[in-house]
Chain A
Amino acid sequence: MKKILLFTVLLISAISFAQENSFFSVGFESNSQYYLDDEKTGDFLFPERFRSNNYLKVDYGINDFYFGVQLESYEPMALLNYSPGFNKTNLGLYFAGYKTEKLDITLGHFYEQFGNGLILRSWEDRQIGINNALRGARVKYSPTDFIHFTGLYGKQRIGFGVSDGDIYGFNSNINLTSFLKSENSTLNVGFSYVGRSQEKEPSNFEYNKLTNLFSSRLEFSKNNFYVNTEMVSKSKDAVILVNQIKNAKKGNAFLVNFGYSEKGLGIDATFRRMENMNIYSEREASGNVFNEAIVNYLPALTKQHDYLLTNIYVYQAQPQVSFQDPSLIKSGEIGGQIDVFYKIKKGTFLGGKYGTKLAVNTSFWYGLKGENDFQNFDFDNEFLGFGEKYFSDVSLEIRKKWNKSWNSIFYFVNQSYNKRYIEETNGKINANIVVAESTYRMGNGKSLRFEAQHLSTDDDKKNWVGATVEFNITPRLGVYVNDIYNYGNDVASKQIHYYNVGGSYSVGAHRFAVNYGRQRGGLVCVGGVCRFVPESTGISANIIMSF
């Protein structure tokens, strides 16, 4: 607590000297919940019914210097299923830096990403309880405007502490566009290195204390066409299964993305293959449910859906090694996705007066194909072999404006979800989901939005139906009610309504929201990283303020 007070005093005194070239920004976020017993889903069986996560962040800059702190308070306890490391009130982040056109030096906590994040990304996501900021030092240097270097060292944040292992990183980005001598082309190349150093545990397997990851990248575009690639290799490291070192293996990843876009049309395709690509700043954190100590970012490359029923069967990337039983062996994934965006022109038959916007996405993911040796926890995969199918998703979105007051969105999704492989339990699900939503603008800032959804499947929990009504009394003040109902469940007592009712008020950069309802248990995913939340019922309040 002394640390916190000291920082506050320092900040206030800095601010009181605030002058012309200064920058000052404050953000406050509070997410609280009061958990209730529920006659359908059961009583609340954990300590502390009232729980609250609070974040206060202050950023200050003067001339070429910048400073920041983040104070976090989880009192009396953090929300359900957050890491126990988020406990009580403490200083979560602090940093100071110096930045000019060519040089940027940061001491303390910082977030960083190299390339696509395949070998390094530190970031914060409060919704899913991730904060893997690095604590150490970082130097960014740009000798010219087309060459950028970054060098860093740090330990990763875990709860209010830091990781046992050390992280070293180097990144370079070089923009070669001016050498192309072509007006409509661009070319960027990049090379990165990340090292994770941690003392070894005694084992029969040969690997080094220092694990090395290398990445090389190329981005090229000409006229309306573009292509980006990234290739990654990871040196031999311990493969940990159920807290035991079972083998030592190398890893690798390959990503290629290309597309074409012009006014009214965009096409984008991505292919990615990953093998044994998990890396943690502490080896023993391997596969932890709180997503702590993750060094790199390996999101599921699928469409991020926006509706309740389209988010029941959410794919999570499968970069890790897992040997559950001889029929359930994983060592990576291979697959891709394609997006098409198209605007049907105004004045045509299908376009109507305002035009019609279409978006199509398809993604498909498979396990790697190769030879597996269950006894020795060993594998040898083909480069372009497709193994067991894990997931596929095909969606079509149509956005249509009918007239000044009405517009609609229609959404169709077909999902195939291999629960046995993704969640390491049992079953396969094939589901079709339809969603229709319309917004009616009544003038004077009043608007009404309603949404109907249906999920049909013969598998798992069977059919669901859902609806939302949202009424904006003014653009600032809105109320909503929604419900999803698992009416098809074979077990009558599990045919449950997950209803929510709430409202929000925003004024300027501040927003206040309250909600009462029953939350479906399952994965809450943000940006392709998921956290498991148990079923719960309660009242929640969220406050967001920016100054």
Chain B
Amino acid sequence: MRKFLTVICVIISSSIYSQKTIPNVNLKTLDGKSVNIEDEVSKDKITVLSFWATWCVPCINELDIISEVYEDWQDETEVEIIAISIDDARTQKRVKPLINGKDWDYKILIDKNQELKRALNISVIPHVIILKGSEILYRHTGYAPGAENELYKKIKEFSK
């Protein structure tokens, strides 16, 4: 156990100084097309990756509330939000009707067997990642009402 803790400390401290980028992983579009996440992300604008699932209530709360102000956010910062569903085969079929039923305007991608989620070491959702190009600038886990304002503050700060 002590060795385990030592290993953790060494790895975490070495990780703090390294620049973070997104990994080269393929995702699916709603039409079943395979795309690479690196190609889906704008090269010079801010992109937000929001990991969610149809069964995750806080995720849906967050995306619902942002969808009301998404147009304003885009006008002001040109940010693009990509909502990445980590639904597995049990609930994946629900993604398409749900997003239409909800009237969301996000680009939707599917992380079919959670490959991207795992490569980014995301344990729980909701999890948002702010990117410029493929560089990770900020990450956040969990959602409580009001967190969208903090997220937007970060987006504005990075889009300057």
Interface residues in chain A, defined as those with a beta carbon under 8 Å from any beta carbon in chain B? 1, 4-5, 8, 11-12, 15-16, 18, 22-29, 54, 56-59, 61, 66, 68, 71, 73, 75, 89, 99, 101, 111-113, 116-118, 121, 123-124, 126, 142, 145, 148, 173, 175, 177, 186, 188, 219, 221, 226, 228, 257, 259-268, 270, 297, 299-301, 304, 306, 339-343, 357, 359, 399, 439, 441, 444-447, 472, 474-476, 478, 504, 506, 508-511, 527-528, 544-547
Contact = CB atoms under 8 A, between A and B. Distances in A.
B1 A75 contact: yes
A265 to B, nearest CB: 6
Interface in B98-141: 98-103, 112-115, 118-124, 127, 138-141
Contacts of A342: 101
Given A25-B121, A58-B11, A113-B112, A268 B3 contact: no
Contacts of A111: 113-115, 118
Given A148-B34, A506-B142, A59 B127 contact: no
A11 B11 contact: yes
Contact of A475 (B31, B34, B146): B146
Given A89-B3, A506-B141, A219 B93 contact: no
B7 A472 contact: no
21 contacts: A15-B18, A16-B14, A59-B120, A89-B1, A111-B115, A121-B88, A175-B33, A186-B32, A259-B96, A261-B97, A268-B96, A297-B88, A299-B89, A341-B98, A441-B145, A475-B147, A476-B144, A476-B147, A478-B144, A508-B139, A527-B88
A474 B22 CA distance: 29
B21 interface: yes
A216 to B, nearest CB: 15
A53 B141 CA distance: 20
Interface of B: 1, 3-4, 7-8, 10-12, 14-16, 18-24, 31-34, 36, 54-55, 57, 61, 64, 88-91, 93-94, 96-103, 112-115, 118-124, 127, 138-147, 149-150
Given A339-B94, A475-B144, A304 B55 contact: yes
- In the A-B complex, list the 6 residue pairs whose CB atoms are closest, starting with the nearest: A341-B101, A266-B97, A27-B121, A445-B146, A475-B147, A299-B90
Nearest to A220: B32
B102 A357 contact: yes
A300, A444, A508, A544 interface centre (most CB from chain B within 10 Å):
A544
Contacts of B112: 113
Contacts of B144: 445, 447, 472, 474-476, 478
Contacts of B142: 504, 506, 511
Give chain A's interface secondary structure class.
strand
A485 B158 CA distance: 48
A89 B4 contact: yes
B10 A268 contact: no
Given A476-B144, A544-B141, A259 B90 contact: no
Contacts of B102: 341, 343, 357
Nearest to B68: A354
B113 A112 contact: yes
A117 B23 contact: no
B141 A266 contact: no
B103 A263 contact: yes
